[in-house]
Amino acid sequence: MRQSKLFGRTLREAPAEAQTPGHRLMLRAAIARPLAAGLYTWLPLGFRVQKKVEQIIREEQDRIGAQEMEMPVLTPAETWKQTGRWDALEPITFRTKDHNGREFMVSYTHEEFVHLHAMQEIQSYKQLPQIVYHFQSKGRDEARPRAGLLRVREFVMKDAYSFDADQAGLEKSYAAEFGAYERTFQRMGLDAISVESDTGAMGGDVAHEFQVLTEVGEDRIAVCSNCDYRANLEKATRSVRRDGFEALDKAPEPSEIRTPGATSIEALQALLKRPPEAFLKTVLLTDARGTVVAVVLPGDREVNEAKLRKILGTSEVKFANDGQFAAAGGVPGFVGPVGLKARVLIDSSLDRRAFIAGANKKDTHLQNVVIGRDFRGEEVDVHDVREGDHCPRCKTGTLTIKRGVEVGNIFAYGTYYSDKMRATFVAEDGTQKPFVGGSYGIGVGRAVQTIIETHHDEKGIVWPPQVAPYHAHVLALPVNDADVRATAESLVAELEKRGIEVLYDDRDETAGVKFADADLIGIPLRVTVSKRNLKENLAELKLRSATDAEMVALAGGADRIADIVGSWPR
């Protein structure tokens, strides 16, 4: 490819809106361009990367026996209504109607439709297991697209769907996808770790996210210093040292203490000279329907909203308003679980010992409040894990919180969809049984930008060879020297004959511009054919990832380049 003809030019300065290093480089190197908030066009260079990433994903899916197919972007409303997701997804999806008024959704994902096809194509357990997948655009009307390709409103996702006859089969399919994901990300140069994740509104039990740890990520991941425990903060737990049991019997009955104006844990600490763990924090919240729930936590902990939403089975959690406070018998700033008229959730990390809690009475708290004796509630894990907490798995390590980009996820949902859609097959015993399924997604564009975020230096992108837009970048210096041009062009032709992908910088630019652009675009091998080197019949080879260059004889140049390119992982 002649660079003088390349559609897409490099930018010396990045547009002001680009914030993350990957976003800036993606724009500067002419990988992609914005069309509107969260909508991007792949330019030719970026599109080549996208196709290579897709191909790696494809090969690893094929390796585990998954079959590629393709389902439409536009999907009919009726099927979504069968599973209740037409309404549930309303706030974050794009919708349209045809000329007859029939409703469609720009598909958010394709579980419903793959089930529809599975019930048509699979009648017998003998046809199971199956995994199918496709690469398809998804529409998500995100409230806040951000950081270039990391969060967008339309993107190509590889989504795979497994169908098994039973739970044991699902576990095998899940494990196969897990392995495929590990190989897939490794091959494209992403150091993705698997973390336990929340299954969210989808139901189901087991889910893993594949996270690439980087500061630009928007997810927060708890990572153990000692073992392999890694979990999204939406799900992470901790090991709690219980040391207050003996105090239980000795605690006297609760009694009131005057705490004028002490409406926060901090104020109480200051007033009573006690550590934050001495207090119970009680928060009044409501679910989407407005039902009030009281969450009781250690004084130094916060509610984890994701955990709470899952416990309540609701799509949103809000703070209770004044009327709801009054109805529950709570006084803002002095809320406590004793005598409260609301559903009470007790965080599972709380010790069985005497606490100080709000008295539901202005300027008053209760001391010697004991869980189980003075109030009751459901014991659940609803608190936020934080840096320094003890690992729930090995108990000895401590947790650190890191940021991550979720490049893929795998999710065993079981019969969640097949039950609702009556998607069944005939089992060995002759009865109709629902498919047991899982879904497995990878965001292609997000993966591409994450590769840039994690593979660059101050000069530009440093593509892993497997996904680089071209293998070699041939620079002619200067291009208007007839000998240089003829030599460079015959080298390019010879390389292309060997199947090497070459970007040929034939632009009439100075050396500085060409080198700077080569560094910016980040093609793994740079080949310089110059007037200077030509005198000695040499060409210069330099790996983008290396600091030193190598001089080779022009005569054997193509062989040497082919060796280098051939030595790269595929």
Partner RNA sequence: CGGGGCGUGGCGCAGCCCGGUAGCGCGCUUGGUCUGGGACCAAGAAGUCGAGAGUUCAAAUCUCUCCGCCCCGACCA
* Interaction between residue 317 and RNA (CB under 7 A): yes
Angstrom distance (rounded) from CA 32 to CA 388: 40
* Interaction between residue 557 and RNA (CB under 7 A): no
Q: What H or E segment, with its residue span, contains residue 483?
A: helix 482-497
CB-wise, 91 or 101, nearer to RNA? 91
CB-wise, 15 or 44, nearer to RNA? 15
Angstrom distance (rounded) from CA 66 to CA 57: 11
Task: Give CA 309 to chain center in angstroms.
Answer: 19
* Interaction between residue 288 and RNA (CB under 7 A): no
> Shortest distance, CB of residue 538 to RNA, whole angstroms?
8
Angstrom distance (rounded) from CA 385 to CA 66: 38
Which of the ranges 9-17, 222-230, 329-337, 422-430 carries the binding residues for RNA, by CB under 7 A? 9-17
Angstrom distance (rounded) from CA 318 to CA 305: 9
Task: Give CA 38 to chain center in angstroms.
Answer: 16
* Interaction between residue 201 and RNA (CB under 7 A): yes
* Interaction between residue 553 and RNA (CB under 7 A): no
The contacts of residue 292 (CB under 8 Å, 6+ apart) are 284, 285, 286, 320, 324, 327, 328, 342, 343
Task: Give CA 48 to chain center in angstroms.
Answer: 23
> Which residues in the 208-237 window bind RNA by CB under 7 A?
218-219
How many other CB atoms are there within 10 angstroms of residue 506's CB atom? 20
* Interaction between residue 19 and RNA (CB under 7 A): yes
Among 13, 87, 246, 249, binds RNA (CB under 7 A): 13
CB–CB of 439/411 below 8 Å?
Answer: yes
* Interaction between residue 322 and RNA (CB under 7 A): no
> Shortest distance, CB of residue 487 to RNA, whole angstroms?
11
Q: What does R_g of the chain's alpha carbons equal in angstroms?
A: 30
Among 311, 530, 541, 564, binds RNA (CB under 7 A): 530
> Which residues in the 157-176 window bind RNA by CB under 7 A?
159
Three-class SS of residue 318? strand
Angstrom distance (rounded) from CA 440 to CA 61: 10
Number of residues engaging RNA in binding (CB under 7 A): 71
> Which residues in the 447-486 window bind RNA by CB under 7 A?
459, 477-478, 480
Among 59, 171, 182, 305, binds RNA (CB under 7 A): 305
> Shortest distance, CB of residue 247 to RNA, whole angstroms?
35
> Which residues in the 386-425 window bind RNA by CB under 7 A?
409-411
DSSP letters of 410-436? EEEEETHHHHHHT-EEE-TTS-EEE-E
The contacts of residue 444 (CB under 8 Å, 6+ apart) are 50, 53, 54, 57, 135, 155, 156, 157, 158
* Interaction between residue 540 and RNA (CB under 7 A): yes
CB-wise, 374 or 519, nearer to RNA? 519
CB-wise, 325 or 411, nearer to RNA? 411
* Interaction between residue 37 and RNA (CB under 7 A): yes
Among 2, 15, 258, 490, binds RNA (CB under 7 A): 15
Angstrom distance (rounded) from CA 421 to CA 81: 10
> Shortest distance, CB of residue 251 to RNA, whole angstroms?
36
Angstrom distance (rounded) from CA 73 to CA 81: 17
Among 315, 321, 348, 537, binds RNA (CB under 7 A): 315
Scanning the structure block, which residue is given the tokens 């017998």? 124
Among 134, 151, 238, 473, binds RNA (CB under 7 A): 151
Among 112, 374, 506, 517, binds RNA (CB under 7 A): 517
> Shortest distance, CB of residue 164 to RNA, whole angstroms?
17
* Interaction between residue 250 and RNA (CB under 7 A): no
> Shortest distance, CB of residue 249 to RNA, whole angstroms?
40
Per-residue binder mask for RNA (CB under 7 A), 51-90, x = binder: --------------------------------------x-
DSSP 450: H
| CA dihedral of residues 515, 516, 522, 527 (deg, nearest 10) | 0
> Shortest distance, CB of residue 553 to RNA, whole angstroms?
13
CB-wise, 208 or 353, nearer to RNA? 208
* Interaction between residue 535 and RNA (CB under 7 A): no
> Which residues in the 494-513 window bind RNA by CB under 7 A?
508-513
Angstrom distance (rounded) from CA 319 to CA 328: 13
Among 2, 4, 17, 255, binds RNA (CB under 7 A): 17
Q: Six-digit token pair at 363?
A: 């300027």
